[in-house]
Structure 1
Amino acid sequence: MAEENKTERDRRPPSAQLTRRALVLVAAGAVLAAIATFVVAGFEGADSGSDGGGAGITTTGAVAGEAFGTATAGDCLSWSAIDASDLAKVDCSETHLFEVVADIDLSLYPGAEWGPGSRFPSVMRFTELRDEQCAPAAMDYLGGRFDPHGKFSVGLINPGEAGWAAGERTLRCGLQFSSTTGNLLPIQGRVADQDQSRAWDAGVCIGINNGVPADPVECAKPHAFEVVAVVDMSSQFPGGLPSIEDQDRYLEENCTRLVDEYLGDPEALRNKTLTLFWDNLDYDSWLAGSRRVNCSIGKQVEGGGFSSITGSAKGDILIDGQPPVPPPPLPEGRSLPSPLPGAEPLPGA
């Protein structure tokens, strides 16, 4: 019996902790990438003839334009130009890219760093300002219900180098939906009215870059994994945060059933040499109201990361450019290995 169990373990792909580790690290980098886009682009092409002021904010109206100069908590902003020069206020029920949570006037802070003629801050300095000023503001704006591991991240818009040179010292803190690589994805509706779970719709394929998950792509293109289902745990766990063991027991049963339904054959996952995995919700996410997780399938590689898959798992696929070779049938009476559960987040993630 011991030898048989060892054989079953040997057939399992690497631990799902590798999956979680890759996703956590990439997601953390996405926030920095997103704010770097704003810092570099600024608003150099915007109308310099507008003026206005947010609540309690003195704005020069220079370069950044009326929408930036008058935006205050609760306003939603959108743009299409790379440098955000066409930034405009929109109704939050419409598609937008940024929901303002606070406006910050750096001229009210003592010190030469923000004074007349001061140098335009670096990307890293704006990142520090985002963490120091915007992160607490976002938590207050949402009444403490912000999921730090969810689909939304905290962002900051600055007035751009030209606005800074003209004396503009106002910043806008807000919430945004950052993709894995830092691109901003559209939001519809106010963040406070949404489930913040970072869960993709069933059928979405997540792209791959050097073995690491990237942005959503068509499943016909190379990708790291395919989302097969979304599981809402609120009905099973109506009270406090369930333990990781309780989450895994519930998700193993449901994800296994859902992936069989998705693929149309209980043997398809094994025959395609793919692995079923999921994430767990932690205390911060649960406290914020997040209850949804994905059941996904992919193929992990030794040492971490993913193989490149082409094609939806519902049909024929290629793994690293080759069709999968089904493993030999299991001896009669031997059970299939269990799917891989999600892993706890990294410390501090």
Structure 2
Amino acid sequence: MAEDKKQRSVRRPPSARLTRRALVLVAAGAVLAAIATFVVAGFQGADGGGTDAGNSISTTGAVAGEAFGTSTAGDCLTWTELDASDLTKVDCEQTHLFEVVADIDLSVFPGTEWGPGSRFPSVLRFTELREEQCTPDAMDYLNGRFDPSGKFSVGLINPGEAGWAAGERTLRCGLQFSSTTGNLLPIKGKVADQDQSRAWEAGVCIGINNGVPADPVECTKPHAFEVVSVVDLSSQFPEGLPSIEDQDRYLEQTCTETVNQYLGDPDGLRNKTLTLFWDNLNFGSWLAGSRKVNCSVGKQVEGGGFASITGSAKGDILIDGQPPVPPPPVPEGRSLPAPLPGAVPLPGS
């Protein structure tokens, strides 16, 4: 019985558990950065259990400007300064960073915490407000179709210390697209009109920081993994959400086929000593309309995390600065083992 369980844990792909674990570590670092910079804080669920540095607290550096003071649900905002002091309102079809879902007037809240002369709240307090006030508003704004594991996260913009000192007590809750390290990425179009799947386009490389995934980078730069394809699960499972086991069975075959096409060589993955892995969709994502997942290739290191890869997997690569050494050829007449399109499951999986 124990032996059977062990074999199943080896054969069964981890469905990017390693990636999710990495995102948890990245998220922890983002919190520390948030406390130091007063720009980013908080988390968004990555798979219903994990986290990623997805939510942010942005602060305007000036007393409430026109864009901040007049924006309401459905407006889209953008800025270039770290403190959002140049915040402007733009058409949502243009590139922007924030789609407003609600404005919260703290001056009508009971108690003295928000009254005249009150101290400017800490990042952690604003994070609590975002969870208490903004997350429910985002769900209402999207009529319940918000993917908590998707590419969009809930954010909050406050008036900054100057605005607070001048008596401004209104916050803006909104939706944004955050990288794993908390940096905001551009959005085009309303969130309600988009697929919220956290899937990158084929050919995108995700950077690496101390062995964990970071922000998208050029594949010529060090990265954790490279996306080889996007798979729409609705084509195979039109009836509804498939179980994780059914997703894995389908994606093992599909991702193996797509990576062989992507690399142009059925032995390419093996010869480059890379690992194939993929994501899964959970019930919350499926309910929100997300249907897409990524097939990706990277290099797991012993103890967890990723090795640093330089160069696209389509060509010559370096792994931790060294060219990969292909394993010995399989002796003629000996069958290849079943593919292992994923890293070893985490302990306790």
Structure 1 residues 309-345: Cα deviation after superposition (integer angstroms, max 9, x where no partner): 0111111111011110000112333124323359999
**What are the residue-to-residue correspondences of 1:23-102 with 2, within 5 Å?**
23-26=23-26, 36-37=38-39, 42-44=59-61, 46=62, 63-102=63-102
Other structure's SS at 1:213 match: strand
The structure that has the greater radius of gyration is: 1
Deviation of residue 260 (structure 1)? 0.4
Q: 1:13 to 1:252 in 2, by over 3 A?
A: closer
d(CA) in 2 for partners of 1:227, 1:253 = 16
Residue 64 (structure 1) shift: 1.6
Mapped partners of 1:16, 1:333: distance in 2 = 30
- Pair 285,41 (structure 1): closer, same or farther in 2 beyond 3 Å: closer
Alignment-mate amino acid for residue 214 of structure 1: A
| Deviation, structure 1 residue 85 | 1.5
Please show how residues 184-203 of structure 1 align to structure 2 within 5 Å.
184-203=184-203
CA contact (8 A) 1:226 1:313 kept: yes
1:334 partnered with 2:344: no
State the match for 1:50 in structure 2.
Answer: none
1:34–1:193: structure 2 CA closer, same or farther, 3 Å change rule? farther
User: CA separation in 2, counterparts of 1:11 and 1:321?
Assistant: 30
Return closer, same or farther for 1:15/1:320 CA change in 2, 3 Å cut-off.
Answer: farther
1:243 is displaced (CA, Å) by: 0.5
Contact 2:14/2:277 (8 A) holds in 1: no
Residues 173, 132 of structure 1: alpha-carbon distance in 2 compared, 3 angstrom cutoff: same
1:99/1:327 Cα in 2 relative to 1: closer, same or farther (>3 Å)? same
Question: Given the superposition, is the C-alpha separation of residues 13 and 281 from structure 1 closer, same or farther in structure 2, using an over 3 Å criterion?
Answer: closer
- 5+ residue gaps, structure 2: 41-55
| CA deviations over 1:12-48 (Å, ceiling 9, x no partner) | 999953333213553586589679416887322x4xx
| Partner amino acid, structure 2, of 1:201 | E
SS of the counterpart of 1:134?
A: helix
Asked if 1 retains the 8 angstrom alpha-carbon contact of 2:272 and 2:324, the reply is yes
Q: Structure 1 pair 342/299, CA: closer, same or farther in 2 (3 Å)? A: closer
How far apart are 1:266 and its partner, in Å? Answer: 0.3
1:253 aligns with 2:238: no
1:266-317: CA deviation from partner (whole Å, max 9, x where unpaired): 0000000000000110111111110000000000111110000011111111
1:11 to partner: Cα distance: 11
Moved more, 305-314 or 23-32: 23-32
| Conserved 8 A contact 1:13-1:275 | no
Q: Is the 8 A contact 2:74 2:100 kept in 1?
A: yes
Say whether the 8 Å CA contact 2:15–2:279 is kept in structure 1. no
Aligned to 1:314: 314
SS of 1:174 mapped into structure 2? strand
Counterpart CA distance in 1 for 2:109 and 2:167 is: 14
The letter of the residue matching 2:60 is: F
Please state if 1:175 is matched with 2:175.
Answer: yes
- Aligned residue number for residue 130 of structure 1: 130
What letter matches 1:339 in structure 2? L
**CA distance, structure 2, for counterparts of residue 333 and residue 40 of structure 1:** 57
| Count of paired positions | 325
Partner SS for 1:118: coil
1:138-217 alignment, distance < 5 Å = 138-217=138-217
The question of whether the paired residues in 1 share the 8 Å contact of 2:202 and 2:230 is answered with yes
Q: Deviations over 1:230-252 (max 9, x none)?
A: 00111111122100111011111
Match of 1:105 in 2: 105
Identity across aligned pairs (percent)? 79
From the superposition, tell whether residues 231 and 130 of structure 1 become closer, same or farther in structure 2 (CA, over 3 Å).
same
User: Aligned partners of 1:237 and 1:257: how far apart in 2?
Assistant: 18
Pick which of 155-164 and 79-88 moved more.
79-88
Q: Residues of 1 paired with 2:189 and 2:120: CA distance?
A: 33
Amino acid at match of 1:321: G
Q: Distance in 1 between matches of 2:100 and 2:303?
A: 41
CA distance in 1, matches of 2:160, 2:172: 12
What SS does the aligned partner of 2:113 have? helix
Note closer, same or farther for the CA distance 1:342–1:151 as it changes in structure 2 (3 Å cut).
farther
Cα distance per residue 1:52-89 (max 9 Å; x no partner): xxxxxxxxxxx120110011100000111222111111
Distance 2:140 2:189 in 1: 19
The TM-score with structure 1 as length reference comes to 0.86
